[in-house]
Every structure is written in structure tokens, then in C-alpha cells.
Amino acid sequence: MFKPTRFPKPGYFPIGLMIGWAMAMTGSANSQENAEQRREQVIALLKREAAEMTATALADIGSLEDWKKARPKRKREYLYMLGLDPLPKRTPLQANITGRLSTPGFTVEKVVFQSMPGLYVTGNFYLPQGPEKPLPTILYVCGHSPHPLGAKFHYQDRAQWLADHGYACLVIDTLEFGEVAGIHHGLHNLNMWRWISVGYTPAGVEVWNAMRAVDYLETRPEVDQTRIGITGISGGGAVSWYAAAADERLAVAVPVCGTFTYGSQAAHWLADGQCDCIYFNNTYHSDLGVVAALIAPRPLLMCSGRRDSIFPPDGYHEVFRQTQRIYDLYARPGKTSNRVKEVDDDVLHSDSPVLRSAARQWLKQWLKDDNTPVAVVPNPKEMLIPAAELACLDKLPPDAANFGIHDHFVPTAKPGRHDELDSWNKRKQDLIAELHDKTFRWFPTADVPFEATRNGGHGGWLDRYGNYTDTQIQTEPESFIRVQTVKARERDDKPLLVIYVKRASDTLSAVDVDELLPLFGRCDVAFLNARLTDTRLGQQEFTNIERSAVWVGRTVAAMQVWDILRTLEWLLEDRSLSPSRVVVFAKNEMAVPAFYATLLDDRIHHLIVRNPPGSHTNAPALLNVLRFTDIPEIAAGTAPRKITFLGRPPEPFEFTKQIYGLHGNAAGISSASSLAAALKLWE
């Protein structure tokens, strides 16, 4: 520690003390290096978790009886992760044919329907001229092909081939690149973190639109309802997977360039290159192998490109390996099922002539019972029908909900009213159970040693206020956080322990402790840098980490909740502390994990917050929470323990006050002007 040789002059602040303080609070060069290492540890942890999840996705299935027993639960979980449990109401489709085009070989009908009120789906229905009906039918789901008049324009050659060969084919636009455009990239580049908190993914809308498209096909006399298949490439490949698993009316599935495992995606760190519609929110630690198992034993062909940079071979080969095992359970003992197959070609992210031929052969085999080979022919180079002629609408519908469907597709919870404490206590028990099931399912259950190690450096002039230590502790295997403590020297028998949950923005300046100065020497103080708060992340890097965390059923804020709980456990193991009470102090966005940690651990006696968000709508994301709760109800769950707001509580916390009143402790939730006032240090 720097020791001045003489007492400083009035108004003079020794540069050595400034440097010492800066090194203590923001860290020495070694501490900064450790911060970067801790960031890399988070990424490595997510990769390990994803790999383990992929490896064990179907490990509990040893027989067909095992799978039949597990399947209903896995199906419900899968639909929940798409935002489709419960399924939306099947409202009238309001289907219209807005025009027809005729060619010598087929006709094209321009179809519009509403998969739910105001959610418009535009598509082209290709019907061959002449063949007897009803026909085998293909639902073609488009990929990411931008066009102001719909993506379907770019996929007409696939539909034309099918019509020329005796199939009916309905090509439907995506939500993002439809004639009535919605949003696919809310997380990818728009920071719509509410999507995670509500459990929304555009994949859910695409699957629902596909299911309603099947509803429409069932109204058409030209369609053989027992012979409907689905295929598409890229985003359409992912939707082919998801829709076939969700809707058993789809008799055959051919996903093209859309096959992956979360383990592979994490290993190659591919979130940055993928649209949000590729993934489901992985609440139940599932994987694409489970989706494939839900399709079994219906015929399934996986088509992939060996040089596809966003769906690499290690991922799609692993899905096939797991899928073949499940399909074989349906086959005769000792036999390999012929109902699942993979084909790949030495191409990038595209459906090459080889892959198109394989897809067509598969559809022909299983929808027409015809094994005649399909020739490999070059892909056509021109779109035959102009986009304007394929367009279904001449103007946007005034009641269209597509633009903001992400705000309405998944129902969110409304606060309940509780007039009796028994009613509230029952709600609180149910709430904690839902959190453990749908938000914190990933919390470690095995003991993880803290492996506490001291960082280098010293406390600067914080040493004048108490005994300073700077420690790394392990909160998950090979994932550490930084905790700095200033232990009071002139101690009461059981002083307060105050845990300050720091924000990422608090690493900007060394001088971030002024509001805690009255506490030093009177309380034991711990500065907690939960994961990813002691290093400055760019927005793109944070986005990649947050989206990748959802692959393993968590978020950054959820990891920070766990870090608070682990830090409390570690501090209370220190017999030299023995606090009379534990206080947690958090500001702005870090108040969110602090609220949840306080709910989950009743050893926190008092929570002090400044400028907390009033809702997850504009707060750090926690998976699924808006489907069953919000921040004011979480805060209410801490009653009758104390909550103090530094400043005026946001209006949504009126609900919290009402619950405190049920406990007969209306004074337990209060306001104060400062930390010193909140803690009544003069007492």
C-alpha cells in the first residue's frame, strides 16, 4: 500500500492514493487480465453446457416403450419452448383467393389467410393441370429471401417442378419477408430482450402459420389429406423440422440446410450468423434430436451442405445419429429403419441439384409409393413468373398485426389480486416452483467448491477503512467471479454485512464508492462483480453471449442471480463475519437479479435498490418470466423482509406495497434518500 511520507496539505490528494484506489476498485493490470479470463470462462462454460446437453438429449431413451412414455411430456415441453403451449385459438382463416394465373402445365392461385386475427399469411397454391385428384401435396416454407412482394417469388421453381410432376404445392411467405412484413431479428440486432422474458421466438409464429396452412389445405378438395409433406431450405429448413414435430398431419418432412445441434452451434460460436427464427428458447435443455424423435416414425430426410458455415457437418451428423437410433426402435428388432436418411453434398448453404433430386426422390417414394429415380438436373437460372404477378395483395391490410405480433403472440401474465395472506402465500409457492421449472432449471444441484483465490494488488486507501481483500470465487465449474471485501476493524459483535451488486458501468471509473463511504468502518462491505460486469462488452458480443446462453436455458441475468446466491453462501461461510443482518444493494439493471436472489434466499434481510426497472419489458432478460410474473410480484415475494427504494418507487411497485400490507408490515417497503438513511446508521 502507498504510504505518504508526510501528511498531505489541505486540498491535496496524493497521486499514490489515487492510483492505489484505482487499482483496488478497477483492478491492477493482473486483475484486468483476470476479468478478460472470466469473460472467456463464461463463453467456455456455455460451450461445455451445450455440448453436454446435446450428448444427453435422448440418453434416457433405451426402448420404444421408454420413448412412448416420455413422448407426451417432451411434446408439451417442445411446444412451450416455441411459445405454443397452450396453442393459440384456431380462429376462422378468412381465406381468400385474390387471383389466378394459368400456364400450360399448372395454375397458380394467390391465397391469403389469417392464422389468427390480423396475422396475415400470403402464399401461392400451385395445382397441376389434368391429373386426377385428390393429390399428394407439399407445403413449401420459404427461407430468408428478401423481396417486397414476398419471399415466395424466389422459390417458385421448386413449386413449379412439383406441379409439373403431379403434386399440389402451397408456398407460404415468412413473417419477415412476407407481403405483410413482421420481425425475425429482434434479438439478433434490435435488442428486443423482452422476447426472451416472454419466451417468444419467431419460429413459433412460423410453425403456427404452417399449421394453419395445413388447416387451409384440408379445406381444399384437390388435396389428399393423408399425403401432405413439408420442405424448405435454411429458415424454411428449420421450420420444416419444427412444424413436422408440432403437427402430425404432416406425413413426410425434408428439411434442407437447417439441421444443427446446440452443441455444434455453441462450439462454432454461430449465434452471430443465425436469424432468431432458427432456434427455440431452450427452457427444458432439449435439442434437435428430440424434435426429430417427435417426427418419428414418419419419413424424414435431412439434406445438408458439407461446406455450410452455419449448419456444419458435426451438427447435422449428430442429429442423424440420434435420430436413426429412435427410428430403429420403431423398426423390427435388429433392423435399421428406412424411414430416416441423411444426404449431404459438397456445397455451401444451398440446395444443390443433388440435394433437390434427393428431396424429390424422397417425396415421391413416400407420398406416391414410387421408387423410380429422379434425375439430377441443373437448377433453373430464371424466375419464370414476375413477382408482381405472384403477389396476393394490392395494399397492406389496415388491421394487420404482423408488424407487432411479437408483442402479442405469447400471452403474458397479469397481476392477480390477493385479499388474504393465505391466497398470496399459495401464489408465492407456485411462483417459486415456476421459476425453478422454467427460468432457473439450470441452477447447479451438485456442490461446486468455491476454490477461493486472492487476486494481487492492495486496497489503496480503502485499507484505512478496514481490512481489504480481493478474491476470485468459483460459482460454476471453471467459472469465477470477483468479490472485494472491506471488513470493519472496530467491530460490533455482529455488524451488518452489505453486499453491493455492481453494474458493468461501474467499471468505468475507479471512484464508484462514494455513496458507500458512510458504511466503511461501521459495516462489513462486499463488492460483487457478477459475471460479465467487470469487463466492458460491446453490444455485438453481449448479444452473441445472451443468445447463446438461451441455447442452454439461461440468460446473463440468470447467471448473475446465481452469482449473488453463491457470493452470499461464501461470505456466510467466513466465520469472522457473523453478520447480524445481510443487506443487498443494487442499482438500475442489477436490481433485477438482486430482487430474484432476495426472493430465493431468505438470509437476505434487507434489499436496497436505486432506479429499479418496473417490468421485464425494459429490463434484463430472464427466460419465460413474463408468461407468469413480473418484477413487482418478485419484489412482493420478499415480504415481510425490508425493501428500501433510494428515491421514489416506480408506480408498478404499488402492487408490492399491497402485498406488504397483507403481511401487516406496510412499513417494510419504504423510501430513503441515501444508503446511510436506508440503514439508519446513526442507530
CB 472 within 8 A of CB 480: yes
Locate cell 487499482: which residue? Answer: 23
Whether the upstream peptide bond of residue 8 has omega within 30° of 0, thus cis, is no
For 298, the 3-state DSSP assignment is coil
Nearest to 652 by CA among 607, 621, 603, 618: 618
The burial class, CB within 10 Å (0-12 / 13-18 / 19+), for 599 is buried
SS3 track for 408-438: CCCCCCCCCCCCCHHHHHHHHHHHHHHHHHH
pLDDT of residue 315: 98
pLDDT higher at 500 or 333: 500
526, 571 contact by CB (below 8 A): yes
Cα gap 330→337, rounded to integer Å: 7
- What was the pLDDT predicted at 408? 95
- Report the distance separating Cα 524 and Cα 306, nearest Å: 58
Residues 6+ positions from 189 with CB-CB distance below 8 Å:
543
Alpha carbon distance 241, 342 (integer Å): 14
Q: How confident is the model at residue 455 (pLDDT cuts 50, 70, 90)?
A: confident
CB under 8 Å to 175, separation ≥6 — which residues?
Answer: 181, 182, 183, 184, 202, 205, 206, 209, 277, 402, 405
State the DSSP string of 350-368.
S--HHHHHHHHHHHHHHHH
Burial 162-194 (b: 16+ CB within 10 A, else e): bbebbbbbbbbbbbbbbbbbbbbebbbeeebbb
Average pLDDT, the chain: 93
- Can you give the C-alpha Rg of the chain in angstroms? 29
| pLDDT for the residue 683 | 81
Q: What does each C-alpha distance from 68 to 47, 64, 71, 103, 378 come to in angstroms? A: 31, 6, 5, 47, 43
Distance (Å, rounded) from C-alpha 134 to C-alpha 148?
A: 33
Pairing assessment for the beta strands 340-345 and 479-487 based on DSSP bridges: unpaired
How large is the average pLDDT for residues 453-463?
79
Query: Among 38, 33, 2, 23, which residue's Cα sits nearest to residue 457?
Result: 23
pLDDT score of 180: 98
In which band, very low, low, confident or very high, does the pLDDT at 382 lie, cut at 50, 70 and 90? confident
Highest mean pLDDT among 215-229, 488-502, 503-517: 215-229
Q: Which residues of 270-286 are buried (b: 16+ CB within 10 A; e: fewer)?
A: bbeebbbbbbbbbbbbb
For residue 297, whether the previous peptide bond is cis, meaning omega lies within 30 degrees of 0, is yes
SS3 letters for 169-203? EEEECCCCCCCCCCCCCHHHHHCCCHHHHHCCCHH
CB 41 within 8 A of CB 479: yes
* Sequence-distant contacts of 237-242: CB under 8 A, at least 24 apart: 237/143, 237/303, 237/311, 238/203, 238/277, 238/278, 239/141, 239/203, 239/206, 239/207, 239/210, 239/277, 240/141, 241/288, 241/291, 241/292, 241/295, 242/82, 242/203, 242/206, 242/207, 242/280, 242/291
pLDDT of residue 220: 97
Strand partners, 96: 112
- pLDDT exceeding 90 applies to what percent of the chain? 85
| pLDDT-derived band at 368, boundaries 50, 70, 90 | very high
In terms of DSSP H, where are the helices of 418-573?
421-438, 539-551, 556-573
Mention every residue, 6+ apart, whose C-beta is less than 8 A from residue 180: 120, 122, 393, 396, 397, 400, 402, 403
pLDDT band at 12 (very low <50, low <70, confident <90, very high): very low
Q: Which residues pair with 303 in a beta bridge?
A: 256, 343
Mean pLDDT (whole number) for 427-455: 96
For 314-364, what is each residue's pLDDT tens digit? 999 999 999 999 999 999 988 999 999 999 999 999 999 999 999 999 999
3-state SS of 631-660? HHHHHHCCCCCEEEEECCCCHHHHHHHHHH
For residues 516-528, give the mean pLDDT: 93
User: Count of CB atoms within 10 A of residue 505's CB?
Assistant: 14
Q: Which residue has the higher pLDDT, 514 or 479?
A: 479
What does pTM read for this prediction?
0.94
Q: Ramachandran region of residue 673, left (φ > 0), alpha (ψ -120 to 50) or beta?
A: alpha
| Of 543, 526, 563, the residue nearest 621 (C-alpha) | 543
Shortest CA distance to 172 belongs to which of 135, 213, 230, 211?
Answer: 213
pLDDT at 574: 80
Band (pLDDT 50/70/90 cuts) for residue 491 is low
Separation of CA 30 from chain center: 34
pLDDT at 507 over 90: no
pLDDT category at 23 given cuts 50, 70, 90 is very low
pLDDT the model gives residue 17: 42
Which of the residue ranges 9-13, 25-29, 216-220, 563-567 would you say has the lowest mean pLDDT?
9-13
Look at residues 221, 300, 203 and name the one whose alpha carbon lies nearest to residue 254.
300
Residue with the three cell numbers 441423411: 342
The residue written with cell numbers 442489477 in the block is 590
Quickly count: other Cβ atoms within 10 Å of residue 419's Cβ.
Answer: 9
Cβ neighbourhood burial of 301 (10 Å; 0-12, 13-18, 19+):
buried
- In this predicted model, what pLDDT tens digit does every residue of 134-191 receive, in sequence order? 999 999 999 999 999 999 999 999 999 999 999 999 999 999 999 999 999 999 999 9
Domains of the chain, start order: 15-50+428-679 (3.40.50.1820), 84-407 (3.40.50.1820)
Is 309 exposed, middle or buried (CB count within 10 Å of its CB: 0-12, 13-18, 19+)? exposed
- The 8-class DSSP code of residue 260 comes to -
pLDDT range class, residue 435, cuts 50, 70, 90: very high
Count CA atoms within 13 Å of residue 397 on its CB side. Answer: 21
Is residue 266 a contact partner of residue 274, using CB atoms and an 8 Å limit?
Answer: no
How confident is the model over 583-629, as pLDDT tens digits? 999 999 999 999 999 999 999 999 999 999 999 999 999 999 999 99
How high is the pLDDT of residue 461?
Answer: 79
